[in-house]
Structure 1
């Protein structure tokens, strides 16, 4: 089967609801989708979807843009979600200094607190890093004692050299529609990462792959991304599906 380890199935852009999205991705062989939370409401809605659909799992967390909302009440709600049997990760969490919707201090607190919670629950965490490469590397390196269960660098867009640092800390790397774009220059990065650390995502409804760039994305587009990765690695479709499925099982336990 194909896997999509990071999608936002609760996004309001899906005006017809989730059922047609699920029907679409199942029809093309996508058998596992992780719906990612970015705040407590989307995390709760993702849990609700996981309760309905066998093929949907979820992560729960507070995105750096929402870091200012992480008070004791939200932490308690997050902890309750992480106890759910289909919650497979904490996230997405991290740093975003592009929008600066939360202060650096708020982002640092939220990132560290959620890493601590992930460690307590024995779960991996999902990292969002935008305009924050050096800070993210240092932050994770300084807190490597909290990285016992791996983590995902979602929508990885940094250098091959930085990927090696993350990999040594226990990272997996997911790539989305960007790798199908002309002049994306992701081939060498994908080749330098160990094959057993590679994953695919859509980041739906964003970042639709070629030839659907600019349209609303959904997990049914994962085969385009996986087959591009297979082309880069000189693998058959069957082989890349096996690699990606095993990597998802190893990191997320599903």
Structure 2
């Protein structure tokens, strides 16, 4: 049984066939999933989906690309929504230096505010990182984020950063890129990360695994991620499924169903 720890079933890509996508995920062995909200539109939809399905949970946070739009109103809103019984994490949050909509200084401040909220609420956080690894680690250390820990979502960095992430009490989540034939870094990470800190995800509709690369991703494809990691580690798919689901249950404070 698989746990997809990061999906965006709350975006328009799934408006025409969302129910069928969810059904295919269940048929593929996906036992649980977390729908991640990241702005005004997707956060309520994440909670709505969690309310509609017993096996779906929600995370709420503010994406760094839109940090310039974040005010105290959004911070208070996140705090209010985080108390919903199906909300299991805050995020995705972090830094994104690829796009230039929000200045780095503003991104950092919004990131820090959300970390402090997570500590106040004792909830794990989900990190979005694009071309900003060292600044993210520095902020997590400064804010003592290890007290709540969380997920390095769709980890695509050098294994050299693993130690710092693990010392900060973070799990390492791998998605579709680990299946790409030319993706040496995710494959190396998949072999090196401690098994008790490993998670899997799709980040659907983005980053579809091989052989669906370039097409719309969906939660059912998390099975392909598990298969690739199992092959790289010399384990069975069942073993990877069991341990990554147990890890997610522990992080999100869920009981096994």
TM-score range, shorter chain: over 0.9
Matches within 5 A, 1:111-122: 111-122=111-122
Spell out structure 1 runs of 4+ moving beyond 4 A.
none
**Number of the residue aligned with 2:163:** 164
Aligned mates of 1:95, 1:197 — CA distance in 2:
22
Q: Deviation per CA, 1:47-83, whole angstroms, max 9, x where unpaired?
A: 0000001111010000001111221211121111100
The alignment of Structure 1 onto Structure 2 pairs a total of residues equal to 253
For 2:99 and 2:251, the matched residues in 1 are separated by: 30
**How far, CA to CA, are the matches of 1:93 and 1:100 in structure 2?**
16
**2:73 is the counterpart of 1:73:** yes
Structure 2 counterpart SS, 1:58: strand
The residue aligned with 1:56 is 56
Mapped to 2, the partners of 1:105 and 1:24 lie a distance apart of: 42
Residue 21 of structure 2 aligns to a residue whose secondary structure is: helix
Shift of 1:17: 4.2
Q: How does 1:95-134 map to 2 (within 5 A)?
A: 95-134=95-134
Q: In 1, distance between residues paired with 2:44 and 2:17?
A: 16
Map of 1:154 onto structure 2: 153
Distance 1:187 1:129 in 2: 18
Contact 1:149/1:251 (8 A) holds in 2: no
By how many angstroms is 1:101 displaced? 1.5
Matches within 5 A, 1:1-254: 1-144=1-144, 146-185=145-184, 186-254=186-254
CA root-mean-square deviation:
1.1
Give how far 1:85 is off.
Answer: 0.5
Would you say the 8 A contact 1:4–1:200 is kept in 2?
yes
Q: Where do 5+ consecutive residues of structure 2 fail to align?
A: none
Residues 3 and 32, structure 2, Cα contact 8 Å, conserved in 1: yes
Query: 1:21 is paired with a residue of what secondary structure?
Result: helix
TM-score of the two chains, using structure 2 as the length reference: 0.96
**Deviating more after overlay: 24-33 vs 37-46:** 37-46
Is the 8 Å Cα contact of residues 40 and 77 (structure 1) preserved in structure 2? Answer: no
Larger deviation: 209-218 or 97-106? 97-106
Question: What SS does the corresponding residue of 1:152 show, helix, strand or coil?
Answer: strand
Structure 1 portions without partners, runs of 5+: none
Describe the SS at the equivalent of 2:14.
coil
Distance 2:61 2:41 in 1: 10
Q: CA deviation at 1:147?
A: 2.7
